[in-house]
Structure 1
Amino acid sequence: MFKKSAPPSPTISGQTPTQGSPASTPASRSSSPAPAAITKDAEKLPDGKTPDDSSKLRTFLSILKRFIGVTDIAAVRFSLPAQLLEPIPNLEYWHYIDRPETFVAIGDSEDALGRMLGCLRFWFTKDLKYVHGKPCKPYNSTLGEFFRCQWEVEDSAESLRGEESKPNLQQTVAAPQGATTKNKPVKVSYLTEQTSHHPPVSAYWVDCPDKGISACGYDQLSAKFTGTSVKVTPGHYNQGIFVTLHRREDEQYQLTHPAAFLGGFLRGNLYVSVADTCFVTCPKTGIKVILHYLEEGYFGRTQNKVEGVVYKCDVTKDKTTRIKDVSDKDVLGRIDGSWIDKVWFSYGSTEFKKVPEKDKVLLIDVNPLLPIGKICPPMEDQLRNESQRFWQGVSESIGAKRFTEATNRKTELEERQRERAAERKAQQKEWEPRFFTQVTEDNGKPQLTGEGKQVMQALHEDKWHLEEPAEYGAI
């Protein structure tokens, strides 16, 4: 299970310990801890009684069986009873900033390979919710729903290679502009909006002006139930995470997502595994990484192993997809380890298992790392279509174990969304996002509207007030 709040975090790759959350939170803000993990998903019981794990799993499995043969059950967006859900909105749950200090340090190295290693360190910390917790089913997002938050974290993750540079680009931390942010608090702001309901797509934007780094992308999943597991793959519009280093002439990294599997139905213990190939690329530096995740080991035992190769190439033209097809002369180094344990890096083309232990570099040890709590607007400063407030009634009912009431409230919200969609269709009116310029972008990179940019700036200045939107999608 996830813990309700993160303690001071241990060392990252042998570096100085970092606080898991600010020592004191300003009174104008509320801290949102990492979500508790749902174990399986539950069956209907009288209010006030909590179903046990086995009964949850039976009901969840009986629902999934209806979708055997369905190409994409994520697009169906079927509604589950409230007792099968974790009381957290989807937009709040799905983000990749479990450890903000690894994100803000990506561009610190003056060495191109060092920056790629920083990017990989961030990659292996983005899904800690699956390392330390159980699979979770949050609420389905509604059209126009949005979520915003920020993190405050010490800039303590050191460069993995090359000279380190941590200039303070804004005078918003405990150091003058132009001075160093090293071991100083920096802010990371986050904004996401559900831009489409059919298919379900949300756009997100991450920004740390103090460090001159941002990230964006679309969250869209495709899911298929095979009878023994659910295979989850990126949807058409989900082309990965795009990280941009603005102080390095907008050097950009694209990190694509591998397929994941929700398994353990037959054994009665749900778990997430990964078995696919994904890529991290940077056209400007000409460095590409192929990561290969291995799901099963000998005798079908899950090993959660990952191996990879880092190499030089013309990224825009290179079509290599297999580690063994990379020429030794182009290899800069190799990756090996377990994504739920320790991941290592070795320099050069030598097979990792043949590299002496003293020459292996610890990229990341995720064992002691817990997700860091988010800082969210107070409920009174949230709009009605802001995730936490939108689902507040449902969450309160689930928390009080009033499951029938929670399901009824959830159904009312979903019905209003259908009514609003019917009204727009009758008026031949297309939905327009508020904070992003398009429902989707062909290149997978969402763009902020002027209002979206203002929201990001206000977050960084601890300002929460927002005007009501011109139109609600589900209210």
Structure 2
Amino acid sequence: MACRNAAPGPMLGKDKKTAPESPPSSAMSATGGSTPSTPVTSGKTTPTPSIKEEKVQDGKVPDDSSKLRTFLSILKRFIGVTDIAAARFSLPAQLMEPIPNLEYWHYLDRPETFVAIGDSEDALGRTLGCLRFWFTKDLKYVHGKPCKPYNSTLGEFFRCQWEVEDSAPSLRGEENKTNLQQTVAAPASASTKGQSVKVSYITEQTSHHPPVSAYYVDCPDKGISAYGYDQLSAKFSGTSVKVTPGVYNQGIFITLHQRGNEEYQLTHPTAYLGGFLRGNLYVTVSDTCFVTCPKTGLKVILHYLEEGYFGRTQNKVEGVIYKCADVEKDNTTRIKDVPDKDILGRIEGVWTDKVWFSYGSADFKKVPEKDRVLLIDVNPLRPIPKICPPDEHQLPNESRKFWNGVTESITAKQFNAATSRKQELEERQRVRAAERKAELKEWQPRFFTQATEAGGKPHLTEEGKAAMQGLHDGDWWIAPPAEYGAI
């Protein structure tokens, strides 16, 4: 349920209570942040449409109906276009949320669920931990309204950190919260239970055409990391925008280093932005996604149900956890095709409300309520604030500083000035690209080894590792890059 590089327009919701801690500062997750097992890609190049902006008087805040009218008039130009996420065009500032794309998407709305994934001594317990994280990673879907952050520019990056209490309990099996690194001064004991732990994060826009960003998450205290690429493909049908992961987006890869590098792959499902005809935008998720772990042999099939009878959105999800002879060779994609003898449990609920787990192969509805395990209740949950570098330690291509002029203009309701500043930044990116092309130079990311990697698994460069180590050590300083992509 999350992919972040959404070029065309509003994709996912932003909870107004979780605006950036200071001025700025992935389906979609399907984000963002969920995909079919075979990602959808565009096979043709699409023309750049001309867009006529609806002018908004400076000092006047555009209302939602005005935004929707403008946005819909833009989207109509893309009916039939194979992939509008790859099209080159610029949105007026009044349609933008004043927050950078790279900051907006990070999958860590509730980091305490992420750090607890590997706590259980039981393999099924760790899979349940993955699912709890999965249903909390995109609270923007649950508590917010659709919006559009700034598009990312080549070489732009964002880094931050969370300090959270390690309080999420094991869902099954004996719990082990061993303190491995002690990056936070507080925990001096052998356990992190109830103590503060650090979660560090860095992401970089590694490609502009197609738009792709790489990200890396690390919690040394708990011996857990995650990484992947965010890229999406989008198509407008006339009534909704269908968003699927791009070819480089193979999902979120989570590694439990204290469990012999046990790895989990969580793929993203298809998401839809609808409500254009009713004038009330909303996000739904449909299709099937998977959680797999080759080492334990466990696989999860999650099926999202977009709408029920009479077109009412129901946001239901159902799933099954089962044991495979060989996860990497298992081609099962439908819940009904999983043999009862292999099923360890079932998942059912509403991903915007409560999700439950029941043991065994019995139909969930036949399991007494007392025997069901509450996997997660997202109703009381809100995103946890992130800790970002002070202004004096941010580089010009760091997201908050890069977009600061646009953000200040939007905040001051100076939309014409914001649009002009935004277009200036986009034009600089085009100029830099033309200069590199003339010199026969290819862009090289700074913190990741390649713009994209086969299999969807990015690798940190030495500079990337040093930047992450600086976050762990509380050292925000970082040297300027050898080259800027859009400055």
Normalising to structure 1: TM-score of the pair?
0.92
- Code of the aligned partner of 2:139: L
| Partner of residue 49, structure 1 | 60
Aligned-partner Cα distance in 2 for 1:128–1:77 = 29
Q: Which of 325, 333, 344 is the matching residue for 1:321?
A: 333
Q: Check the 8 A contact 2:228/2:457 in 1, yes or no.
A: yes
Task: Give the AA of the match of 2:338.
Answer: V
Alpha carbons 2:305, 2:315 under 8 Å: kept: yes
CA shift for structure 1 position 71: 0.4
Pairing 1:156-175 to 2, within 5 Å after superposition: 156-174=167-185
Distance in 2 (CA, whole Å) between partners of 1:59 and 1:160 is 47
Give TM-score scaled by structure 2 length: 0.90
Give the whole-Å Cα distance in 2 for the aligned partners of 1:450 and 1:95: 22
CA contact (8 A) 1:3 1:34 kept: no
**Is residue 24–residue 100 contact of structure 2 (8 Å, CA) maintained in 1?**
no
What amino acid maps onto 2:176 in structure 1?
Answer: S
Deviations 1:125-176 (A, max 9, x none): 0110110001110111000000000001000000000000001001223556
- What are the within-5 Å matches in structure 2 for residues 136-151 of structure 1? 136-151=147-162
- Distance (whole Å) between structure 1 residues aligned to residue 406 and residue 339 of structure 2: 55
Worse-superposed segment, 310-319 or 177-186: 177-186
Query: Does the 8 A contact of 1:32 with 1:374 survive in 2?
Result: no
Gaps of 5+ in 2: 1-13, 26-52
Kept in 2, the 8 Å contact 1:188–1:206? The answer is yes
Deviation at 1:50, TM superposition (A): 0.9
Structure 2 counterpart of 1:65, one-letter code: K
Matched-pair contact (CA < 8 Å) for 1:34–1:372: no
Distance 2:24 2:282 in 1: 18
Is 1:2 matched with 2:15?
Answer: yes
**Aligned positions, number:** 446
Residue 232 (structure 1) aligned with residue 243 (structure 2) = yes
In the TM superposition, what are the counterparts of 1:196-345 in structure 2 within 5 Å?
A: 196-313=207-324, 314-345=326-357
| Cα gap change, 1:51 to 1:175, in 2 (>3 Å) | closer
Q: Structure 1 pair 115/33, CA: closer, same or farther in 2 (3 Å)?
A: farther
Is the 8 Å Cα contact of residues 310 and 334 (structure 1) preserved in structure 2? Answer: yes
Deviations 1:83-107 (A, max 9, x none): 1100000000111000000000000
C-alpha distance in structure 1 between counterparts of 2:55 and 2:219, whole Å:
44
**AA paired with 1:367?**
N
Q: CA RMSD in A?
A: 1.5
Contact 1:345 1:362 in 2 (8 A): yes
Percent of residue pairs bearing the same amino acid type? 81
Q: How far did 1:309 drift?
A: 0.3
One-letter amino acid of the structure 2 residue matched with residue 105 of structure 1: A
- State the one-letter code of the partner of 1:361: V
Match of 1:24 in 2: none
Distance in 1 separating the partners of 2:286 and 2:266: 16
| Amino acid corresponding to residue 369 of structure 1 in structure 2 | L
Counterparts in 2 of 1:410-425, with a 5 A limit? 410-425=422-437
Aligned-pair CA distance for 1:198: 0.3
Distance in 2 (alpha carbons) for counterparts of 1:158 and 1:272: 30
Distance 1:375 1:397 in 2: 24
User: Which residue of 2 is the match for residue 467 of structure 1?
Assistant: 479
Change (3 A) 1:64 1:422: same
Aligned equivalents of 1:54, 1:190: Cα separation in 2: 36
Matches within 5 A, 1:338-417: 338-417=350-429
Report if the CA contact (8 A) 1:143-1:473 is conserved.
yes
Distance 1:79 1:34 in 2: 20
Distance, in Å, in 2 between the alignment partners of 1:109 and 1:474 is: 45
User: Structure 1 residue 3: deviation in Å?
Assistant: 4.0
